[in-house]
Amino acid sequence: MAGAGVQGRVALREGLLGFSKGVLKQTQAHAQDIALKSAFLAENVGKNTIMTTPSSLREGKPDRYWTGAMFNAYTADVHQTGNRITVKWGWVDTKKKYFKTQEYGGFFLGKTITPMHALTNSYVAVKNYLHDEGIK
């Protein structure tokens, strides 16, 4: 009789551990999916901002697209180390002074550059998406 109780506890423990591992795998897969969708959203919102913010250098120009360098350099990246997932967006790999001037505003060729807020717009979009997914 004593042996049956021990075996019952072992089986329950093994069942709970198996269940926990399954939940962990599902949670990790869900987190990875959300991170990838966040990165995709952030990159698209940033690039849309570049394409829809009127130029401060050329009157009547409806966007900040000139050579394509700033637009093409606006990317997003997802990195995972253990259980930690990091999403970066913006000018992750290529940084140029004029990207910063376009983003935050400043002066160039004697003209005032109004900020375009691509990074902020991406942040707000991702924050809203995460909120909709139940993540604070």
The predicted-structure confidence for 6-17, as pLDDT tens digits, reads as follows 565 666 666 666
- The least confident of 27-31, 69-73, 114-118 is 27-31
CA 87 to chain centre: 4
Distances, alpha carbon 93 to alpha carbons 51, 74, 90, 119, 135, in Å: 20, 9, 9, 15, 28
Per-residue pLDDT at 100 exceeds 60: yes
Predicted local confidence at residue 27, as pLDDT = 79
pLDDT digits (tens, 9 = 90+) for 43-99: 999 999 999 999 999 999 999 999 999 999 999 999 999 889 999 999 999 989 989
Residue 103 identity (one-letter amino acid): E
Of residues 131 and 7, which shows the higher confidence score? 131
**pLDDT score at 106:** 95
Residue 56, strand partner residues: none
For residue 36, the SS3 value is helix
> The whole model's pTM is what?
0.82
What's the confidence (pLDDT) of residue 101?
94
The yes-or-no verdict on residue 124 having pLDDT over 60 is: yes
Are 56 and 47 contacting, i.e. CB atoms less than 8 angstroms apart? Answer: no
* Contact of 85 with 79, CB cutoff 8 Å: yes
Whole-number Å distance between alpha carbons of 65 and 111? 17
The radius of gyration computed from the CA coordinates of the chain, to the nearest angstrom, equals 24
Domain boundaries, the chain: 31-132
Give how far Cα 72 sits from Cα of 54, 67, 75, 77, 92, Å. 18, 9, 7, 14, 11
